[in-house]
Amino acid sequence: GFGRSVVLACCLAIERLDIPGAALLGWARIVRLGSVNTPQQEMMLKSFRGRNDVRRYAGMRGAGEETDTSQATCGCVTQ
């Protein structure tokens, strides 16, 4: 779905760039009208204050810890 894809992209941007979800929500609505479809999607994005909130929501390691992001990865296994 269009809304879910944009929400996922926003979550990735919040995690990678450590920016608040509310700011990214505004940007997403400017560049892609109608991209956040439901009140639940909007509330979820607004609830993320930055990288650590997304990591905590996703159950990722490093949530709540200050980390060096210069070598950060998504945690995916590559071959």
Query: What pLDDT is recorded for position 66?
Result: 54
Query: What pLDDT is recorded for position 67?
Result: 52
Query: What pLDDT is recorded for position 60?
Result: 78
pLDDT surpasses 60 at 79: no
12's tokens: 């990735």
Average pLDDT over residues 69-73: 51
Q: Note the pLDDT tens digit of each residue in 5-46.
A: 899 999 999 999 999 999 998 898 898 888 888 999 999 999
Query: Residue 63 half-sphere exposure, CB side, CA atoms within 13 Å?
Result: 11
pTM over 0.85? The answer is: no
Helix (H, G, I), strand (E, B) or coil at 34: coil
Distance CA 50, CA 73 (A): 16
Residues with Cβ < 8 Å from 44, sequence gap 6 or more?
A: 7, 21
